[in-house]
Amino acid sequence: MTRLVLVGPPGAGKGTQASALSEQLGVPHISTGDLFRAHVGEQTPLGQEAKRYLDSGELVPDSVTNEMVRERLSEPDGAAGFLLDGFPRNTKQAEVLGQILSEADTSLDAVIQLAVPEEVVVARLMSRGRADDTEDVVRRRQQIYASETAPLLEYYADVLIAVDGVGEVEEISARVLKALRDRT
Ligand code: AMP
């Protein structure tokens, strides 16, 4: 159970959980948001293109995102497994991920949904203080989650594991690990 995707609204705690889980499962944590922020910080051409999308809360175009993920997944550390955080964000990206994996004769083991009510998510985001956490951008990211990303829950219905994402970090990781164990 090591090829995993973590899905949940912005502010659900995906990054925190993905770090904890990747350590416990011994697989790399691949966050497209972190990859984009690193490019922006280093002012690479990709970063210069991505910046305005990150600043406004819009999705970076699929062509750019998919290429970045394809490259990242071709690195050797992901061969035995990975935990994707923030990708895919829409069904087109999910189709591309499916292609990348099937080219390597493999597939996703599970998609973990971190379920967190909207009021909890907004409160968390407003206290996080990241550059793209202004009220308008937070609202926009929630809208995009609802329209673009939430359909993935249906798309991945066969491999979906929904976990209650409210509580202490350790408590939530333990729930995820138990849910993964219970499935095998
Ligand atoms: P995150 O760190 O996952 O909250 O992502 C921060 C920002 O990076 C998002 O608001 C998007 O602008 C961009 N981003 C991250 N992942 C993706 C993706 N899979 N597709 C398009 N844009 C993304």
Name the residue with the closest Cα to ligand 1, atom 15: 33
Q: What is the pLDDT of residue 183?
A: 84
pTM of the model: 0.95
Q: What number is the average pLDDT over the span 130-159? A: 94
Domains of the chain, by residue range, sit at 2-183
Using pLDDT thresholds of 50, 70 and 90, give the confidence band for residue 133.
confident
What integer pLDDT is reported at residue 131 of this predicted model?
A: 86
Residue 75: DSSP 8-state: S
**Both tokens assigned to 129:** 């203080």
Peptide bond into 117 cis (omega under 30): no
Ligand 1 pocket test, candidate residues 17, 19, 36, most atoms within 8 A of CB:
36
CATH of 2-183, one of 3.40.228.10, 1.20.1560.10, 1.10.760.10, 3.40.50.300: 3.40.50.300
Å from CA of 184 to ligand 1 middle = 31
The residue to mutate among 5, 39, 54, having the most atoms of ligand 1 within 8 angstroms of its beta carbon, is 54
Predicted pLDDT of residue 97? 98
